């Protein structure tokens, strides 16, 4: 599992007009080839009367699946430019379909490449990018006498509390970055004078909005 990676926030659409042609970018997260293909077919069905529905997607930790389709536009002028934007943004598990309604003015090969690239880039900005960060869930088990202190310390730290279970003893679930596990464990032991039990839970991804600078 990757320690962190970028992908799109959610499904979204964004439309721009270039030389009277409508370019509508449809963007979605997809984790399998089948999921990406299904999305492409949904958009093609929705915009069955469009001039073109060009697409591209990147899937897998190492971008194992990369596909681009020009859907009738001159070879290399639509699908590849869409794919190149995804690569440049270092996105993973992302599928994009750009629907074009021809406006009567031919753009030429260079114009098409710029148009599909711009539509994809602006679409991604509109939908939003997130960074997914792999974290370890750690159970901090303590006596109730330590609850106030430990909860206060955690809430004022960079660590996030997932949930607190009030059982015979208190079980605080915290999210800890993979490279901070030992540091976190040492900190908990120090705070409780060694009167805590630490257990690893599941590994999960946390998502945070990514703002381009």
d(Cα 46, Cα 53) in Å, to the nearest integer? 10
> In the chain, what percentage of residues exceed pLDDT 70?
99
- pLDDT tens, position by position, 32-74: 999 999 999 999 999 999 999 999 999 999 999 999 999 999 9
Q: Are residues 149 and 121 in the same domain?
A: no
In tens, the pLDDT along 123-145 reads 999 999 999 999 999 999 999 99
Pick the closest to residue 100 from 88, 112, 108 (CA basis).
Answer: 112
CATH of the domain at 65: 3.30.230.30
Q: How far apart are CA 29 and CA 39, in angstroms?
A: 10
User: Is residue 100 helix, strand or coil?
Assistant: strand
**Nearest alpha-carbon partner for 182 in 165, 164, 200:** 200
Q: Say yes or no: 141 and 63 in one domain.
A: no
Q: What is the CATH number of the domain that holds 150?
A: 3.30.70.240
Domain that holds residue 33: 4-127
Q: Extract the tokens encoding 85.
A: 């934007």
Is 41 in contact with 64 (CB distance < 8 Å)?
no
Question: Residue 178's pLDDT band (boundaries 50, 70, 90)?
Answer: confident
Outline where 20-179 has alpha helix (H).
33-46, 79-88, 108-127, 147-155
Mean pLDDT, rounded, for 175-193: 95
Residue with structure tokens 């290399």?
A: 76
| Structural domains counted in the chain | 2
**What was the pLDDT predicted at 213?**
56
Q: Which residues contact 116 (CB under 8 A, 6 or more apart)?
A: 23, 54, 73, 77, 78, 81, 82, 98
């Amino acid at each position: 599992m990757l320690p962190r990676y970028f992908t799109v926030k959610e499904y979204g659409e964004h439309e721009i007009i270039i030389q009277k042609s409508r370019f509508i970018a449809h963007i979605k997260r997809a984790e399998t080839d089948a999921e990406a293909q299904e999305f492409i077919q949904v958009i093609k069905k929705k915009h069955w009367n469009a001039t073109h529905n060009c697409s591209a997607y990147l899937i897998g930790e190492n971008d194992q699946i990369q596909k681009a389709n020009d859907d009738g536009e001159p070879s290399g002028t639509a699908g590849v430019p869409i794919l190149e934007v995804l690569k440049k943004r270092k996105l993973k598990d992302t599928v994009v379909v750009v629907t074009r309604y021809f406006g009567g003015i031919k753009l030429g090969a260079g114009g098409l490449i710029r148009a599909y690239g711009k539509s994809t880039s602006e679409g991604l900005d509109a939908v939003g990018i997130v960074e997914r960060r792999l974290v370890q869930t750690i159970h901090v088990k303590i006596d109730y006498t330590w609850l106030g202190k430990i909860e206060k310390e955690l809430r004022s730290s960079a660590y996030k509390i997932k949930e607190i279970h009030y059982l015979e003893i208190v079980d605080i679930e915290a999210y800890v970055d993979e490279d901070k596990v030992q540091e976190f464990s040492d900190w908990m032991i120090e705070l409780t004078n060694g009167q805590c039990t630490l257990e690893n839970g599941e590994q999960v991804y946390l998502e945070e909005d990514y703002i381009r600078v």
